Structure 1
Amino acid sequence: MGFRRLFTIQWKNVFGFTRTMAKRSGRSSLSILFDFIDCYRKRGTTWLNYMNFGFDRQREPAIRDTFATEYKDNAVMFRCNVPERARVIKDKGLFNEAYREFLGRDFIDLRHADCAAYEAFVGRFDTVFAKPASGCGGDGVEKLTREQARGQFDRLVREGKVVIEEAARQHSELNAINADSVNTLRTCTCINELGDVTVLYMVLRIGRKGSVVDNMSAGGLYTKLSDDGRITHPCYSAVGFGTVYTHHPDTNLPFTGIQLPMIDQVKELVVRAALKYPGTRYVGWDVAITPEGPVLIEGNDRPGTDLPQTFAHSDTGRGLVAAYEKALSIQLR
């Protein structure tokens, strides 16, 4: 990484995480700081990567090399997607149009609708979600009842919350984990040079009480699932510079051992979505499981490398570079 990129680091976060990592590992804050800067320059490791991968405790270069980093490796993997397809996936309105058959719910894009069409749409549903067309981390997402949504056309357009969606109903077994938000499965598909699709990982994201989204940046928890859809490790949150949870902090529900329903259908859904358009070789699909089956919530043309490589969910202490290379027919090391 270039020296100039050091000036783009979120130093306020870095100093907070440095103190926490020092306490967690028994190293000095200065040792952590200089080690992070070295990883940042040589490996493209963000401070979230460093923290979530457990690099404060794992210092062996050969093992660190097994982790796919955000600024170096993910930038290469991102280029596996054709720019036009990436543009569609980034835009929630365009995504909904392109993948309508996989959504299981209705939507309207206020960039192409008038007030009358909006009022007719929101009048059909008890609850809708209003979202910005672009963005990530659940920023700007608003949940509205029918009564709350009425008369809000001008405000929503003004605020850029132009994608209005019928609320997805969550399966009862996911509601039992957390009912305040839809708990989605980040499911990553990779397509190699032969056109073979690999479901590389599934990560369950779990919301918190009072939050309508399950995103990590909104305080949500996550855990990597086994291939058959079981929770085999504690949940993790990056909030507070990394916290491991064996039980849901709001309900005290134990996580380990929970079997998610309809996992085979989840995999079938994302494989079909991955193959719908040429040029979408590397996508993280956010999947909700409803009583009728899994549906797509949205797609991510550059799924982050933190979720599938978090130290709390690994039995080997190693990253996924080799798996990414095989699944995408690329060379990272």
Structure 2
Amino acid sequence: MSDNRLGLAGKFRYLAERARNIDVKSVVERAKEVHEQHGSWTPKVLADMLWSAARNDVAFQDYVDYDFAILSKAERATFMTHPVSIRIAKQTAQLDKRVLFENKIEFNKLFDRFLKREWLIVDKNNADAVKAFAEKHGTFIAKVPVSHMGLGVRRYHASDVGDWDAFHRGLLERDELLLEEVIRQHDDLAAVCPGTVNTTRITAFNDGTDVHILAIAQKFGRGAVSDQMSYGGFYTMLHDDGRAFGDGYDSHGHVHQKHPDTGFPIAEFQLPFMDEVIAFIKEAARVVPEVPYVGWDVVVTPEGPVLVEGNWGAGVYENKPSVTGIRTGHKPRYQKAIGF
């Protein structure tokens, strides 16, 4: 994919929109955060952030998260950024197929054989089925069909429900229309955080012939229903063999050498069944070739990987140099696979 196919006109429209909507106070706060982390002069950081955004498609939060203040020009060029990822997603995902990833019910229907767990759609006439599903599984997950960043996901316990008709009505009123069996994660994941099902984000691109693995991130929760940062979660990047790059981190300035709740050393994490995980994703990535660029969330169970969801707006998970000591990112892998 050439630069033109990524859409120069789209890039200019994107930059113009960002310029119109820029939150100056927020950018200044980010520049101050960089100053506190690395000692860089705030006005210089602010100017560099604005230049990097306009010239090199670096989101302001990317600049902070990936430690651009301490990197050379050549090192910065190796990092994937959110603006570039957004353009790739919009240019490659066929419009009428995106709903298959945006709507969790449609996704479950299409990818049912990859889920490897029971699920149920809530409707106005199936209160008895909801009760039976809940009592069978004891603890279960309820999801809003369309949501982002782990929001719209709740965990329920059948033992807490006294009035099933009222509970059923509540699910409908809250638009929690998808119920799922809780995934039992592998002991190696539970050792880090047993209270949250910890997902692995694998960003992949299907070029029509081969499926390329672009980046692998391991997310860890803090006991909540989701491992997303909005629930206090964090992540570390993984090597192709499943080894952690180093300590964990998030976009709020927190670094975790050990998991705060279990004391597990994050840099020692190794994802099990790695060969099976990659083969699993390469199979799933061929189901909808019209959406070739996807961020897949999987969980490794004692039997192997299961699919949680796919995100056609793949997002970006990247290495943090000040934490790992590695001063390069994953962009060359994206460029080689996608051709921009």
Whole-angstrom distance in 1 between the partners of 2:169 and 2:25: 37
Match of 2:54, SS? helix
TM-score when scaled to structure 1?
0.89
* Alignment partner of 2:152 out of 133, 140, 151: 140
Residue ranges of structure 1 left out of the alignment (5+ in a row): none
Per-residue deviation at 1:265? Answer: 1.3
Whole-angstrom distance in 1 between the partners of 2:220 and 2:234: 5
Counterpart for residue 319 of structure 1: 329
Whole-angstrom distance in 2 between the partners of 1:203 and 1:113: 41
Whole-angstrom distance in 1 between the partners of 2:159 and 2:265: 37
Q: Cα–Cα, structure 1 residues 42 and 109, in superposed 2: closer, same or farther, change >3 Å?
A: farther
1:274-285 correspondence to structure 2 within 5 Å: 274-285=285-296
Counterpart for residue 52 of structure 1: 65
Match of 2:267, SS? coil
Counterpart for residue 119 of structure 2: 107
Cα shift readout 1:126-157 (whole Å, capped 9, x = no counterpart): 11111111222111211001133544222222
Residue ranges of structure 2 left out of the alignment (5+ in a row): 1-13
Counterpart for residue 226 of structure 1: 239
Q: Cα–Cα, structure 1 residues 258 and 64, in superposed 2: closer, same or farther, change >3 Å?
A: closer
- Of Structure 1 and Structure 2, which has the larger fraction of its residues in helix? 2
Per-residue deviation at 1:321? Answer: 2.6
Counterpart for residue 211 of structure 2: 197
Question: 8 Å contact 1:246–1:254 — kept in the other structure?
Answer: yes
1:11-160 correspondence to structure 2 within 5 Å: 11=24, 13-58=26-71, 60-110=72-122, 114-148=126-160, 150=164, 151-160=166-175
Higher mean displacement: 80-89 or 174-183: 80-89
Question: 8 Å contact 1:234–1:312 — kept in the other structure?
Answer: no
1:188 matched to 2:188 = no
Number of equivalences: 324
Whole-angstrom distance in 2 between the partners of 1:120 and 1:284: 33
1:162-311 correspondence to structure 2 within 5 Å: 162-193=177-208, 195-208=209-222, 210-239=223-252, 242-305=253-316, 307-311=317-321
Question: 8 Å contact 1:184–1:286 — kept in the other structure?
Answer: yes
Q: Cα–Cα, structure 1 residues 33 and 215, in superposed 2: closer, same or farther, change >3 Å?
A: same
Q: Cα–Cα, structure 1 residues 249 and 130, in superposed 2: closer, same or farther, change >3 Å?
A: same
1:161 matched to 2:176 = yes
Q: Cα–Cα, structure 1 residues 312 and 213, in superposed 2: closer, same or farther, change >3 Å?
A: farther
Cα shift readout 1:271-294 (whole Å, capped 9, x = no counterpart): 110112322311111111112221
Whole-angstrom distance in 2 between the partners of 1:148 and 1:203: 35
Match of 2:70, SS? coil
Give RMSD over aligned pairs: 2.2
Question: 8 Å contact 2:245–2:324 — kept in the other structure?
Answer: no
Question: 8 Å contact 1:187–1:203 — kept in the other structure?
Answer: yes
TM-score when scaled to structure 2?
0.87
Whole-angstrom distance in 2 between the partners of 1:25 and 1:114: 57
Aligned-partner residue type, residue 311 of structure 1: P
Whole-angstrom distance in 1 between the partners of 2:23 and 2:123: 34
Per-residue deviation at 1:231? Answer: 1.9
Whole-angstrom distance in 2 between the partners of 1:228 and 1:146: 39
Question: 8 Å contact 1:192–1:326 — kept in the other structure?
Answer: no
Match of 2:266, SS? coil
Per-residue deviation at 1:54? Answer: 1.0
**Percent of pairs identical after alignment?**
30
Higher mean displacement: 243-252 or 106-115: 106-115
Whole-angstrom distance in 2 between the partners of 1:11 and 1:133: 34
